[in-house]
Amino acid sequence: NVHVFYDDSFNTRFGAAATTRIQAIFSIVKTIYSDSSLTTVIEPNVIDITYRSGVTWTATGATLK
């Protein structure tokens, strides 16, 4: 189960379509991870999508450790 959080940057870019965009992303993720060539199948299940107003997350060296 996955609870997706998104920040101001994502909200600014996609606005009212943010939830739809996240669902589309996870549809692609499900397809990729259910490929028959994989020995382990991962089935992500989005249980909630939450917008965190007032924050912006950036993937940098420090936050990726």
pLDDT of residue 36: 86
pLDDT of residue 52: 97
Query: Considering only CA atoms, which of 29, 23, 15, 24 is closest in space to residue 49?
Result: 23
How far apart are the C-alpha atoms of 3 and 24, rounded to whole Å?
15
pLDDT of residue 55: 95
- Quote the pTM value: 0.83
Query: Considering only CA atoms, which of 51, 54, 58 is closest in space to residue 3?
Result: 51
The amino acid occupying position 54 is G
Read off the tokens for 19: 């939830």
pLDDT in tens, 3-38: 999 999 999 999 999 999 999 999 999 999 988 898
Query: Considering only CA atoms, which of 29, 50, 33 is closest in space to residue 42?
Result: 33
